[in-house]
């Protein structure tokens, strides 16, 4: 026994839904047709028996007796043999009735007005009408004769009416069933053709793999308004996935190369020490080289971990990091003061917005320090001696804009699009002066994107490089009050 029902396709659900709507519509049509046919047939039936009752009234004549009574002349009546009738004169005197009826009595139609009633006669259902009329006796006498009141009861069986109604309803029902039988396969065929672009799109998407990211959606899917958004979404997702896989493979390859090189250097240094007997000074120098290489290896691993942390899901829901960018810049300038002095580079910080101290950025203090220090250290390393590194801080709308500009050799135009790639080095050297791990700018980009900001480099060869970071600005309540008070004071 299956615990869960088998999943059904969209086409199956659509076919069932359409057929269900058709079935409900057919039932509604049958019900409405029954009501309409019943009304139409019985209305015609009422007119029919009313006309026959008038015929019976016309057969009432002067009895030619002394009391000036009336009589029913049945010789001129030609009525269906299944119909029934009774004729009453004044005071309830019976003038005549059909041979197939024993009569219902005048009490059956005690109401003074004409009307209809349902009666069962000899096991058959009849509809009977009662009409009142007048006949003139001795119209040639003085005064125009005498009027005599006549009451007619006339009925006809209703079974033939119901048979006609039933036949009409059966016709509508048979037509509806035939429509369901014909439209069922037709709907299935139309849906099969209509969903062909979706199946083609699914087939193309299923062919995408880690080794082959080629995805060429069919034109039928692109040109279908309902599938065009899905097609574009699949293309976008697959492109992002491909870039992510390529980045991961590149990162793993580059990381393995960096770590392998560092480990190989440490290994070769140790092997060199063991090749022959060394003096204590030589052993100490070799161990210091090994320690330096181990520190470089540790730096690479630390930056890789930092990059992985910054590119993770982000902060815990409910927490809102906030950092003082102005204070962070001054702290980093103080920390790198010795580096600037060693390279004979002067750092100039210009806060171009007077009220920036009243706000904070949506970046944690630790990440803010890491971002500014990486950018400033790059500027110091690539700035020529006796030059300046300019730091500018301003507000643009709801964003804080940080610019760090050096006057070094700049970056080649072909290398500029790749400066934020992991392990990328515009300078192929690996010395302490100009080289590095190639992860600093990648970490800066991850921090900026994590905060919802942007980072870019503008550079021209032999004219210097400008790093521009735009970060969302989170203003404090106290700062807003101070700005409001300042504005009111000025006004």
Q: Residue 204 domain-assigned?
A: no
Residue 354: pLDDT band by 50, 70, 90 thresholds?
very low
Looking at the structure, do residues 253 and 384 belong to the same domain, yes or no? no
Could you report the per-residue pLDDT of 368-387, keeping only the tens digit for each? 888 888 888 888 888 888 88
> Is 173 domain-assigned?
no
Rounded average pLDDT over 25-30: 91
**236 pLDDT more than 60:** yes
Q: Which residue has the higher pLDDT, 412 or 480?
A: 412
Inside any domain, residue 175: no
Domain-located, residue 239: yes
CATH code: domain of residue 15: 3.30.450
Q: What is the pLDDT of residue 336?
A: 85
Q: How far apart are CA 402 and CA 323, in angstroms?
A: 14
Domain with 256 in it: what CATH number? 1.10.287.130
- What pLDDT was estimated at residue 440? 79
Counting Cα atoms < 13 Å in the Cβ hemisphere of 28 gives: 6
Using pLDDT thresholds of 50, 70 and 90, give the confidence band for residue 184.
confident
Q: What's the confidence (pLDDT) of residue 99?
A: 87
292 and 331 assigned to the same domain = no
pLDDT, average across residues 177-188? 87
Residue 266 and residue 337 share a domain: no
- The range of the structural domain enclosing residue 78 comes to 11-165
What's the sign of the alpha-carbon dihedral 136, 137, 141, 142?
A: negative
Does pTM surpass 0.75? no
> What share of the chain has pLDDT > 90, as a percent?
16
Residue where one domain finishes, among candidates 256, 286, 310: 310
Answer yes or no: do 302 and 374 share one domain: no
Mark whether 247 and 133 lie in a shared domain. no
CA distance 431 to 410: 18
**Structural domain includes residue 177:** no
> Which pLDDT score is estimated for 480?
42
Instruction: Report whether 87 contacts 150 (CB < 8 A).
Output: yes
Residues 6+ apart with CB under 8 A from 418: 424
- How many Cβ atoms from other residues are within 10 Å of residue 384's Cβ? 13
485's tokens: 């008070």
Write down the pLDDT at residue 478.
43
Whether 411 maps to a domain, the answer reads yes
Query: What are the structure tokens assigned to 110, written together?
Result: 């005690």
Q: What was the pLDDT predicted at 312? A: 63
| 263 and 334 housed in the same domain | no
User: How confident is the model over 137-147, as a mean pLDDT?
Assistant: 74
Residue 31 has pLDDT above 90, yes or no: yes
Q: Give the residue among 375, 316, 323, 314 at the shortest CA–CA distance from 347.
A: 375
CA distance 235 to 218: 12
3-state secondary structure of 188: helix
**Helix or strand holding residue 396 (H, E):** strand 388-396
pLDDT above 70 covers what percent of the chain? Answer: 82
Q: In the listed set 146, 165, 184, which residue is the last one of a domain according to the structure?
A: 165
The segment with the largest mean pLDDT, out of 284-293, 358-367, 386-395, is: 386-395
Q: Which of 287, 310, 333 is the last residue of a domain?
A: 310
Looking at the structure, do residues 345 and 483 belong to the same domain, yes or no? yes
| Per-residue pLDDT reduced to its tens digit, 409-465 | 888 888 888 888 777 765 544 444 455 567 778 888 888 888 888 999 888 887 889
Instruction: Give the domain CATH number at 462.
Output: 3.30.565.10
Average pLDDT over the chain, rounded to whole?
79
pLDDT over threshold 70, residue 5: no
The residue among 193, 169, 179 whose CA lies nearest residue 22 is: 179
> In this structure, what token pair is assigned to residue 170?
């059966």
On whether the CB atoms of residues 316 and 296 are closer than 8 A, the answer is no
346-351 and 388-396 beta bridge pairing: parallel
Rounded Cα distance between 431 and 3, Å, is 67
Q: Which pLDDT value is given to residue 104? A: 66
Cα Rg of the chain (Å, integer): 52
Mean pLDDT of 141-145: 70
Average pLDDT over residues 333-339: 86
Q: How confident is the model at residue 222 (pLDDT cuts 50, 70, 90)?
A: confident
Give the pLDDT band of residue 85 (cuts 50, 70, 90): very high
Are residues 35 and 63 part of one domain? yes
The pLDDT-based confidence of 106 (bands split at 50, 70, 90) is very low
- Whole-number pLDDT of residue 157: 94
Same domain, 42 and 128: yes
Tell me which residue of 361, 319, 325, 358 sits closest to 451, measured CA to CA: 361
- The answer to whether residues 36 and 98 belong to one domain is yes
Q: In terms of domains, do 423 and 290 share one?
A: no
| Range 472-486 average pLDDT | 50
Residue 437's pLDDT is what? 64
Quote the number of domains for the chain.
Answer: 3
Give the pLDDT confidence score for residue 241 in this predicted structure. Answer: 82
* 207 inside domain: no
Q: Are 239 and 99 members of one domain?
A: no
Q: Is residue 176 part of a domain?
A: no
């Amino acid at each position: 026994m299956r615990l869960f029902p088998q999943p059904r396709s969209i086409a199956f659900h659509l076919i069932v839904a359409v057929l269900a709507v058709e079935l409900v519509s057919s039932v509604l049509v049958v019900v409405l047709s029954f009501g309409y046919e019943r009304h139409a047939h019985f209305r015609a039936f009422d007119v029919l028996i009313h006309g026959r009752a008038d015929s019976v009234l016309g057969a009432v004549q002067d009895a030619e007796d002394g009391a000036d009574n009336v009589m029913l002349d049945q010789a001129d009546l030609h009525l269906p043999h299944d119909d029934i009738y009774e004729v009453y004169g004044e005071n309830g005197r019976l003038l005549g009735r059909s041979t197939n009826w024993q009569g219902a009595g005048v009490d059956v139609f005690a109401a003074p007005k004409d009307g209809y009633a349902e009666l069962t006669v000899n096991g058959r259902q009849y509809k009977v009408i009662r009409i009142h009329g007048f006949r003139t006796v001795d119209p040639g006498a003085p005064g125009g004769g005498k009027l005599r009141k006549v009451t007619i009861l006339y009925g006809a069986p209703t079974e033939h009416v119901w048979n006609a109604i039933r036949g009409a309803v059966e016709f509508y029902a048979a037509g509806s069933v035939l429509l369901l039988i014909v439209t069922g396969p037709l709907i299935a065929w139309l849906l099969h053709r209509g969903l062909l672009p979706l199946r083609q799109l699914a087939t193309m998407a299923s062919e995408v793999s880690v080794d082959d990211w080629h995805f060429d959606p069919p034109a039928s899917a692109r040109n279908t308004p309902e599938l065009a958004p899905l097609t574009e979404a699949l293309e976008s997702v697959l492109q992002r996935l491909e870039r992510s896989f390529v980045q991961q493979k590149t990162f793993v390859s580059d990381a393995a190369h960096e770590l392998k090189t560092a480990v190989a250097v440490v290994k070769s240094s140790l092997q060199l020490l063991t090749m022959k007997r060394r003096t204590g000074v030589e052993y100490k120098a070799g161990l210091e080289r090994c320690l330096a290489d181990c520190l470089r290896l540790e730096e690479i691993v630390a930056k890789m971990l930092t990059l992985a942390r910054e590119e993770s899901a982000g902060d815990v829901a409910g927490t809102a990091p906030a950092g003082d960018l102005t204070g962070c810049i001054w702290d980093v300038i103080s920390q790198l003061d010795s580096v600037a002095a060693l390279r004979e580079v002067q750092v100039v910080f210009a806060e171009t917005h007077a009220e920036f101290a009243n706000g904070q950025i949506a970046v944690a203090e630790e990440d803010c320090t890491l971002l500014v220090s990486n950018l400033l250290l790059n500027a110091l390393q690539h700035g020529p001696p006796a030059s300046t590194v300019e730091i500018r801080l301003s507000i643009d709308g709801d964003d804080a804009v940080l610019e760090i500009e050096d006057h070094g050799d700049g970056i080649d135009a072909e290398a500029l699009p790749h400066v934020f790639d992991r392990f990328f080095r515009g300078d192929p050297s690996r010395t302490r002066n100009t080289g590095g791990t190639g992860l600093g700018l990648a970490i800066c980009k991850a921090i900026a994107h994590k905060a919802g900001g942007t980072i870019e480099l503008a550079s021209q060869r032999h004219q210097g490089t400008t790093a521009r970071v735009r970060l969302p600005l989170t203003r404090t309540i106290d700062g807003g009050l101070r700005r409001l008070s300042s504005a009111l004071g000025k006004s």
